[in-house]
């Protein structure tokens, strides 16, 4: 009898490692999800089983200062204990930036890894940690095929006008262009919408991925037409700690008048701005909603206002709007923020059913609404597993 095979997905961050485990027999079946938080001596390992009865376990692994390598080793030890007699058949990794050339998921080898290193300056907050996770997994599973799935790939269908900046053409040719991100999330939503409502999926749809990182994507017939994020994951909507849209003159002013260098400006825009910067309190929408601080309220109002602007702009790119899909941690779980963002949008056919919104219904638009407003749970891990299974014919 053949040994059961598992497919492992990894999403490596700066201080955490998210993972999911799937069985590959006949079709993909999720058996567990988990996360190792606070990589280092005080790490916490959380795992949720999807067996006959769902159970959650949290414990403290002994990682020391081993970082991602120690975290992958902890996952391997957990697998051996929780699922003895199984083997890992493949590992699939989320990689934030694929650049101009990487349009589809790819099997990882030394050449690909070296190429992805060149893209670190384009995603300094994510790419180094994604690659650290890949190296750790290759060391732990040296004979197992591994796949890289790129968050930028989904947006490579953009027309030139949505892909370029108004700079000399030579910069575009060098790769300074709008890449867009959260592609794995958008791809999952596009596939899910096609199975949920094939006719609607062929139409003009804006998807709002609202979380600590936030962006929106305009889709027509399930293909990306435009995105709020651009050259880096700083552009577009304000986020938990990232600024979103910013006049580049502000950066010039900070350099010339404040004496700030590239590193200090990067730290400001990536880690001290956004909701955290405006509120002076927190990047977490839940904390801001509970606060009585006027600055916390200002942060939420700003977030909602910029969201309305982007929905309108993306609808213009599509020539109208048939559906709006909200996803991500905020999009799926924050009815107050959804209501703030979508209030006053009746002019473009968006009418919210306030009661349905409060109970986090799958459809939160009023029956009279010309534009359907849906709340879908995204699943980037499922896309990672699906791409690996398709590429490796598992």
Which residues are tagged catalytic? 151
- Please list, in sequence order, all residues whose beta carbon lies within 8 angstroms of the beta carbon of residue 34, skipping any fewer than 6 positions away: 18, 19, 20, 45, 46, 47, 48, 75, 78
Q: Three-state SS for 392?
A: helix
**295-299-300 Cα angle (round to 5):** 120
Helices (H), the chain: 67-82, 110-117, 127-140, 160-163, 169-173, 183-196, 198-201, 248-258, 262-271, 274-279, 285-290, 294-318, 328-333, 335-342, 354-358, 380-392
Q: How far apart are CA 252 and CA 271, in angstroms?
A: 19
**What are the b/e assignments for 135-170, b being 16+ CB within 10 Å?**
ebbbebbeeebbbbbbbbbbbbbbeeebbeeeeeee
CB atoms within 10 A of CB 253: 12
Q: How far apart are CA 320 and CA 9, in angstroms?
A: 37
Give the CA dihedral 66, 67, 73, 79, nearest 10 degrees.
140
Q: How far apart are CA 186 and CA 228, in angstroms?
A: 13
Beta pairing class for 323-327 and 372-375: parallel
Total number of residues shown for the chain? 394
- Please list, in sequence order, all residues whose beta carbon lies within 8 angstroms of the beta carbon of residue 381, skipping any fewer than 6 positions away: 9, 11, 18, 19, 20, 30, 33
Q: How far apart are CA 299 and CA 179, in angstroms?
A: 27
Contact by Cβ (8 Å): 57, 68 = no
Contact by Cβ (8 Å): 62, 56 = no
């Amino acid at each position: 009898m053949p040994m059961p095979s598992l497919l492992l997905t990894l999403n490596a961050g700066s201080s955490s490692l998210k993972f999911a485990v799937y069985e590959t027999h006949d079709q993909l079946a999720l058996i567990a999800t988990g996360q190792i938080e606070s990589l280092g001596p005080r790490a916490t390992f959380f795992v949720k089983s999807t067996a006959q009865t769902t159970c959650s376990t949290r414990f403290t692994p002994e990682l020391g200062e081993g970082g991602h390598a120690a975290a992958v080793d902890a996952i391997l030890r957990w697998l051996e204990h929780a699922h003895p007699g199984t083997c890992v058949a493949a590992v699939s990794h989320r990689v934030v930036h694929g650049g101009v050339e990487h349009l589809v998921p790819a099997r990882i080898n030394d050449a690909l890894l070296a190429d992805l290193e060149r893209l670190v300056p384009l995603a300094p907050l994510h790419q180094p940690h994604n690659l650290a996770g890949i190296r750790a997994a290759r060391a732990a599973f040296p004979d197992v095929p591994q796949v890289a799935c790129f968050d930028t790939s989904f947006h490579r269908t953009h027309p030139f006008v949505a892909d370029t900046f108004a700079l000399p053409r030579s910069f575009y040719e060098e790769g300074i262009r709008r890449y867009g991100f959260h592609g794995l999330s958008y791809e999952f939503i596009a596939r899910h919408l096609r199975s949920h409502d094939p006719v609607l999926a062929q139409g003009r749809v804006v998807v709002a991925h609202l979380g600590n990182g936030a962006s929106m994507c305009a889709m027509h017939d399930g293909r990306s037409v435009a995105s709020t994020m651009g050259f880096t994951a700083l552009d577009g909507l304000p986020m938990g700690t990232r600024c979103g849209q910013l006049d580049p003159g502000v950066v010039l002013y900070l350099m010339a008048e404040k004496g700030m260098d590239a590193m200090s400006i990067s730290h400001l825009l990536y880690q001290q701005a956004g909701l955290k910067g405006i509120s002076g309190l927190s990047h977490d929408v839940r904390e801001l909603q509970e606060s009585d601080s006027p600055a916390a309220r200002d942060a939420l109002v700003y977030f909602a206002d910029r969201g309305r602007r982007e929905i309108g702009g993306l609808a213009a790119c599509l020539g109208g709007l048939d559906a709006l899909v909200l996803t991500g941690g905020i999009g799926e779980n924050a009815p107050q923020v959804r209501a703030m963002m979508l209030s006053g949008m009746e002019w473009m056919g968006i009418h919210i059913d306030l009661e349905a919104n409060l109970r986090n219904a799958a459809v939160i638009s009023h029956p009279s609404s010309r534009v359907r407003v849906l709340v879908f749970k995204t699943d980037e891990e499922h896309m990672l597993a699906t791409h690996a299974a398709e590429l490796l014919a598992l």
